[in-house]
């Protein structure tokens, strides 16, 4: 038991001695007054939108208006809060370049990053910075992009809210069909009952009463004959 405790203490001390280096965006040097940087994001999908998990290409341009050359060493980026750019959500890997930009020249370098595919589609903040130094070795950095970045959902993907919306609409249609079937059938049956013809003698009209007892009453006489029972002849007795 004592040996195990001693081993754990030595292991803890070994990890405690390891100092995790800060991210390159944590402590950035100031920018050179004669160096400008900008960034452009070409669309990578058919809908011209960026989705979580996409590998995004960034074209970072560095323009050198100084009297001496500048050596571009790194480009790094990070996702931040859209309300507070000092709150980092995800740091991207920094790329090494070591490109010399001469006076009155500009260079465009290719930088790519991939946001975590588990993040929700929404607007995020983003920072992309360029790190460089002059010929004397003094370090500088410029912010190439510092703004919001829209992550959209995939066009063929149905989110949870839309799925339950469709499910609720389907359930409403089914319930309406179940509870509305019986009243509709009762209404149709009542209409059929009202439209059915009545059997029996119809009441005599004024014209029929005026022609009653005359020769113009053949239909009524035939009807009365058809209703009268037939007399059977009694056999003659011999």
pLDDT in tens, 3-25: 555 555 555 555 445 556 677 88
Of 5-14, 23-32, 131-140, 175-184, the range with the lowest mean pLDDT is 5-14
pLDDT for 160 equals 56
Q: How far apart are CA 113 and CA 227, in angstroms?
A: 102
pLDDT for 27 equals 86
Strand boundaries in the chain, DSSP class E: 35-40, 55-64, 70-80, 88-91, 95-101, 105-114, 123-134, 139-150
Q: Between the CA atoms of 182, 186, 189 and 191, what dihedral angle is there, to the nearest 10 degrees?
A: -130
Q: Which residue has the higher pLDDT, 3 or 186?
A: 186
Judged against a pLDDT cut of 80, whether residue 39 lies above it is answered with: yes
Hey, how many other C-beta atoms are within 10 angstroms of the C-beta on 160? Answer: 7
pLDDT for 169 equals 79
Q: Is the pTM of this model over 0.75?
A: no
Judged against a pLDDT cut of 80, whether residue 107 lies above it is answered with: yes
Kindly state the average pLDDT of the residues 111-139.
Answer: 93
For domain 17-150, the CATH superfamily is Immunoglobulins (2.60.40.10)
Q: Between the CA atoms of 96, 99, 105 and 106, what dihedral angle is there, to the nearest 10 degrees?
A: -20
The chain-wide mean pLDDT, for the chain, equals: 77
Of 7-16, 64-73, 179-188, the range with the lowest mean pLDDT is 7-16
In the Cβ-directed half-sphere of 13, how many Cα atoms lie within 13 Å?
Answer: 6
Q: Is 166 helix (H, G, I), strand (E, B) or coil?
A: helix
pLDDT in tens, 207-232: 556 556 665 555 554 555 555 555 44
Q: How far apart are CA 5 and CA 58, in angstroms?
A: 51
Residue with tokens 């029929």: 208
**Backbone φ and ψ of 211, nearest 5°:** -90, 0
pLDDT for 20 equals 61
Q: Which residue has the higher pLDDT, 219 or 83?
A: 83
- Classify each residue of 29-38 as buried b or exposed e, where b means 16 or more C-beta atoms within 10 Å of its C-beta: eebbeebbbb
């Amino acid at each position: 038991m004592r040996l195990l405790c001693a081993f754990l203490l030595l292991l803890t001390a070994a990890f405690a001695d390891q100092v995790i280096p800060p991210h390159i965006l944590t402590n950035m040097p100031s920018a050179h007054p004669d160096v400008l940087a900008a960034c452009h994001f070409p669309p990578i999908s058919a809908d011209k939108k960026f989705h979580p998990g996409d590998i995004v290409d960034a074209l970072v341009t560095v323009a050198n208006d100084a009297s001496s050359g500048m050596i571009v060493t790194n480009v790094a980026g990070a996702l931040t809060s859209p309300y507070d750019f000092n709150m980092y959500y995800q740091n991207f890997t920094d790329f090494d370049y070591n490109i010399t930009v001469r006076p009155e020249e500009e260079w465009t370098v290719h930088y790519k990053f991939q946001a975590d595919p588990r993040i929700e589609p929404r607007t995020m903040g983003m920072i992309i910075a360029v790190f460089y130094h002059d010929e004397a070795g003094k370090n500088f950095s410029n912010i190439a992009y510092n703004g919001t970045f829209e992550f959209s959902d995939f066009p063929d993907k149905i989110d949870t809210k839309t799925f339950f919306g469709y499910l609720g609409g389907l359930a409403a249609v089914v319930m309406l069909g179940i509870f509305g079937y019986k009243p509709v059938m009762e209404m149709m049956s009542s209409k059929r009952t009202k439209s059915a013809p009545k059997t029996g003698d119809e009441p005599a009209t004024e014209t029929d009463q005026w022609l009653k007892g005359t020769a113009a009453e053949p239909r009524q006489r035939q009807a009365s004959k058809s209703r009268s029972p037939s007399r059977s002849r009694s056999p003659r007795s011999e």
